[in-house]
Structures are given as C-alpha cells and as structure tokens.
Structure 1
Amino acid sequence: MPGRTRALAALSGVLMWAAGNGLATYSAAYASSSFIVMAMGTIPLWTVATEAVLTRTPPSRRVLGALGVGFLGLGLVVAPGLFSADILEPDHAAVTILMLVGGGATWATGTAIQKRVAPAFTIPSLAALQFTAAALVLAGPALAVGVPRPDHVGAAQWAAFGYLVVFGSAISLSAYAVVVRTFSASVASTFAYVNPVVGVLLGTVVLREDIAPVSILGLLVVLTAVGAVLVAPTRATRPRQDGPPP
C-alpha cells in the first residue's frame, strides 16, 4: 500500500476526530450544548462543498442555491449567541462560533478524504490508523495544557469511560467507516440530522437550557437546505457514441 494512502487515511482521522470533534468539545466550555449541535448541523453542506472542490465538479445551480440557503440558516442559528450570555460566553462568542464552523468544515473534509482511501483498508485497520493519528495529535495540546486528574475514580467513572471507549469510539468510528465506504460522503454525513434534534431535546430537558426561537428557525432552514442538496440530481456524463445511433 502506498505511503501516500496511509498518510491520507491518517489525515482524515486527524481532521474528523482531532479537529472536528476537538473543536466542538472545546467549545463546550463557552457555549450551551444545544447551540453546539445546532451549529454542527451544517456538516452535510460542508461535505457537498468539499466534494465539489476535490472532484473539481461544480455543483448544479440547485445545489448552490441550497448551500447558500443553508449557510444563511447557520447565520440565524449563531446570531442569538452573540447577544445572550446564556447561550455563548460573551468574551469568547466570536472565537467559539469560528471554532464550531471550523469543526464542521474539518469533519466534512476528513469524510471526503476518507471516502477516497477507505477501499484500500479493512474497517478495523482504517479505524485504528485514524484513531492513532488523532490521539497523537491531541496528546500534544493535552500535555501542554495539563489535563487535571480526578481526585476519585469510582465505578460510575469507569463505566462512563468504558462506554465512551466501546460505543462512543470503537463501534461508532467503525460504523461510520462502513457507511462512508458504502454510500457517498454527503449521504454519510447526514448523521448530523439527528444530532441537532437530540441535542436540543437533551439540552432543554436535562440541562434546562434556553433556546432562542431564531436559532430554531435557523436549524429548520439548515435541515431544509440539506434535504434539498440530497435530493438534487447529480450531474452525469452521457456515454459517448463512436458511431451514429442504429
């Protein structure tokens, strides 16, 4: 297997799990959970845009229009956070929004790259390479910041850790690799449909978070735009005929 293929697979893991997830996780210190998942709901739109760049195939006018509407929806989602301390910490509002936008874009780019290299790997080997690369990249900032150690680690903490390792990491990453290999990158990224709905419900019910009506409207605009992108017909090249038709 060429070293370039391994490098691209490692890069896809860094973009998704270190940059995409890392930026979203870091944003949790300055933003409500429901706000974060709503902002990350644009991942399918970023994926379509990234695919167009990598394949050098311009999207149709319908797709371009849907992308424009989707990013308008993103603006509606993040706008209330600039004026409410309950949604975004005022001193970090602009930076947090940039981190969330960057998180969605890097995840989409990683997905598009993974789509191209996945056939060269088995699912376990691809997942292991991606996780290892992401872990090595994250180890540097973690050591530099000085990750605090809990004073007491009980059964509940070990159970939570085990759940994240097994279900939140190994199984979820392997499942996503299977989906990316089987379907297009834009279809695979539609997992972002579920995240905003679940995140908003959990944020409201469990954490008692307030959600601005404008943000809900923005989320609906984003999901509508993503739906328009996915149902838009793809451009296909008609087969060339060497001779006149019979």
Structure 2
Amino acid sequence: MPPDAHPSSAASPARSPRRSSSAGASTVVQLVVGGLVLSLAGIAVGEAVPGAVATPDGGGSGVASWAAFGYLVVVDSLAGFALFAWLLRAAPVSLVSTYSYAVPVVACLVAMIALGEPLQPAVLAGAALILAAVAAEVRVTTGG
C-alpha cells in the first residue's frame, strides 16, 4: 500500500451519507427547525410572544393570540404545505406556480368572513388583478 493511502480506503468502497427514506420527514424537520430558529430570533430582538400581546384597543387576550398562532401553524403552514406538495404531484408545475398568487386572495376572503374585515377598493382591485393573471396562466398552460 502506498504510504499516503488511508488504510480503510483500500479495504472498503466509498460510502455515501445515509439518506432518509422519506422526503416528507426531511421537510418536516427543516420546517420545525426553521420555525424554532426564527421564533428564537424574534424573541431575541423583542418580538412579542403569543398570549402576551395587547390588542390596539387595550384588551389583549392570551386565548385569542394563541388561537391565531395555532391557525397560522395548522392551516396556513401545514395544510398549505400539504396542498402545495399534493399539487406538485398532481398538476403541471406551471399550474402549481399559480397557487402562490391565489393565497393572498384566499387570505383576504378568510379575513372578511371570519374577522369581519372590510373589503377596501384597493384590495378588491388587487384581487381582481391576481385572479385575472392566474386565469390567463391557466388558459395558456392548458391550451384553453
């Protein structure tokens, strides 16, 4: 054996790092770690913790803050990501890309229905523009 060769390199073939059998598990780990790191960074720079936030009218409800936080985690993050992953498997990428444009429109509708938010003319114009762009993309992509 040459003097500069490592003893184990001649005896065993090169091994690749062990990979997870599930891309979903890897994604979950990335999302959880990213969320924890960003949460800690937010706390470090003085962002409020859910439940400790006072509302503009001075009320401040720990239950309401935690409910909003839970909604963002479950519906906005987990369900949104699951829907996006399913769309990637079930539809052409050009159609899946339109999903990101439609999310703000859905968020405005949820805010109107669930929170009684008023529909401002600028929001209505923006939603119409987004929906027209998505419709144009779908039409071009599907050939319709």
**What TM-score comes out, normalization by structure 1 length?**
0.35
Where in structure 2 are the equivalents of 1:64-83 lying within 5 Å? none
Alignment match, 2:81: 173
The reply on whether 1:161 has 2:69 as its aligned counterpart is: yes
Map of 1:143-158 to 2, 5 A cutoff?
143-149=43-49, 150=52, 154-158=62-66
- Across the aligned residues of Structure 1 and Structure 2, the Cα RMSD in angstroms comes to 3.9
Aligned to 1:198: 106
How does 1:210-221 map onto structure 2 within 5 Å? Answer: 210-212=120-122, 215=126, 218-221=129-132
Q: What residue in structure 2 maps to residue 226 of structure 1?
A: 137
What does 1:50-129 align with in structure 2 at a 5 Å threshold?
Answer: 121-123=22-24, 125-129=25-29
Q: Cα offset for 1:131?
A: 0.4
**Partner of 2:38 in structure 1?**
138
Cα 1:129–1:186 shift into 2, 3 Å = farther
**Change in 2 beyond 3 A, CA 1:210/1:185:** same
User: More helix per residue: 1 or 2?
Assistant: 1
- 1 or 2 for the larger relative contact order (CA 8 Å, sep ≥6)? 1
Contact 1:180 / 1:188 at 8 angstroms: preserved in 2? yes
Work out whether residues 186 and 230 of structure 1, in 8 Å CA contact, stay in contact via their aligned partners in 2: yes
Is the 1:187–1:230 Cα contact (8 Å) retained in structure 2?
A: yes
- Within the alignment, does 1:186 sit opposite 2:94 as a pair? yes
SS in 2 for 1:164: helix
TM-score by length of 2: 0.51
Report the structure number with the largest CA radius of gyration: 2
* 1:21 counterpart residue number: none
Q: Unpaired segments of 5 or more residues in structure 2?
A: 1-15, 54-59
Q: 1:204 Cα deviation (Å)?
A: 6.0
Structure 2 residue matching 1:147: 3-state secondary structure:
coil
8 Å Cα contact 1:193/1:223 also seen in 2: yes
Structure-to-structure mapping, 1:35-46, within 5 angstroms: none
| 3-state SS of paired residue (1:174) | helix
Runs (4 or more) in structure 1 with deviation over 6 Å come to none
Give 1:72's aligned residue: none
Gaps of 5+ in 1: 7-119, 234-246
